[in-house]
Structure 1
Amino acid sequence: MSSKAMGQETLDLGETMLPDRSAPPERKRALRLTGSATALYRTSGSGFETSQVPALELGFDGLAGDRHGGLTRRAGGREPWYKRGTEIRNERQVSLLSAEELGETAEILGIDEIRPEWVGANLLIAGIARLTFLPPRTLLMFEGGVTLKIDGDNAPCRAAGHAVARHYAGRADIPFAYVRAAKHRRGLVGWVEKPGRIEAGEAFEARVPEQWIYGS
């Protein structure tokens, strides 16, 4: 086969593998937003719920001694592609929630409130509308020097629903109803890119990366 023929064959193969360039992906420009961590929380033992604290000391392994701390974690129901218990990278070191979204979820459920500590929050965030929709790779750069990197939204689970239900006697429906009500309102999970100390009320800049919708 000639080099020209070989080259044409390679080119044809490449073209069949490329997406349609006549329809470029939709792109959204990068953004910078400002917010603050109005309250901070951590677990005090092996339990799911957290307790409010004045500051968080964060290392590359997250919160030392916290239930969700560590450089690695064990795969569970969120990772069905791995055998349960497989050791994987811990991208869920911290949980971030907003009072606005907690209030919306409570309203849907017909209850007075959902407190951040009931559903395992580490940071209660103010100033960022639709917090749960911040995309992966967003950086939260705190005044004190800490940087958190967002992995993505935190899918609601029945464990959090059971935690809420314990505060509302007679509402056996909450554990399952919570999963639906909190969808896209459950906040975010992330990990520590630059360690240090965060204090309650500390401001941060959210650097939202350029985004695009990838299609085949």
Structure 2
Amino acid sequence: MDNAGVALEEGVVAQQKLAARVDGVFAAPFDHFETRSVDALELGFDGIANDFHAGITRKSGGREPWYPRGTEMRNERQLTIVSPDELAIIARRMNLPEIKSEWIGANLLVSGLPRLSFLPAGSLLFFRNGVTLKVDAMNHPCRLAGRAIAENAKMPDHKVGALEFARQGRRLRGLTAWVEKPGRIVAGEEITVRVPEQWIYRA
């Protein structure tokens, strides 16, 4: 094996198997960003039925500057997953008593995973009742979610609140994921998480 191969092998982090739990399930009306608590999430290959982010495809936006805005593309952002621990950190940084999952459009509140937002792309979440979700990427805090926080928390300046969330919520906003195996998710359900091998790629 050449030197580059040796360096890569030494830098590989082995795959992991972790356990987690669903603390809450939420869905958004088809015409609104914020979510609300529901009894269960009914998932198809296009995401949550009638949800704001449902669809096999979606329109590109500011996160995809390599496409003209509005380009139809694969919807890898069907669900948003957040952690109670990370929401508590953001709330503390913003001097708020709490930030609710619903305010920022989350679909799943998941506990038991340290640093949930750092789960790498390709991680698989196997839910006890049969659903499998695949992690696409870390979700970045945006002003839309920040404004929703400011409004719900009754902050005096909504514009400042929106900007503050974008700053304080960095790398704590959770994950986006898509449905690999459809089914039904309920609160209290156990999750097995498989984290793939990881390494830093440097050309």
TM-score for the superposition, normalised by structure 1:
0.89
2:162 aligns with 175
Return the offset for 1:111: 1.0
**8 Å CA contact retained: 2:155, 2:161:** no
CA distance in 2, matches of 1:67, 1:45: 4
Residues 1-216 of structure 1 mapped to structure 2, 5 A cutoff: 20-21=4-5, 23-24=7-8, 26-167=11-152, 168-172=154-158, 173-216=160-203
**8 Å CA contact retained: 2:8, 2:199:** no
- Secondary structure of the residue aligned to 1:38 is strand
CA distance in 1, matches of 2:3, 2:59: 36
TM-score for the superposition, normalised by structure 2:
0.94
**Cα deviation code 1:60-115 (max 9, x no counterpart):** 00012101000000000000000000000000000000110000001011111110
Q: How many residues align?
A: 199
- Secondary structure of the residue aligned to 2:103 is helix
Return the offset for 1:24: 2.6
Q: How large is the Cα RMSD of the aligned pairs?
A: 1.4
CA distance in 1, matches of 2:12, 2:30: 44
**Cα deviation code 1:99-154 (max 9, x no counterpart):** 10000001011111110000001000011111000000000001101000000100
Same amino acid, percent of matched pairs: 48
CA distance in 1, matches of 2:29, 2:120: 30
- Which consecutive residues of structure 2, in runs of 5 or more, have no partner in the other structure? none
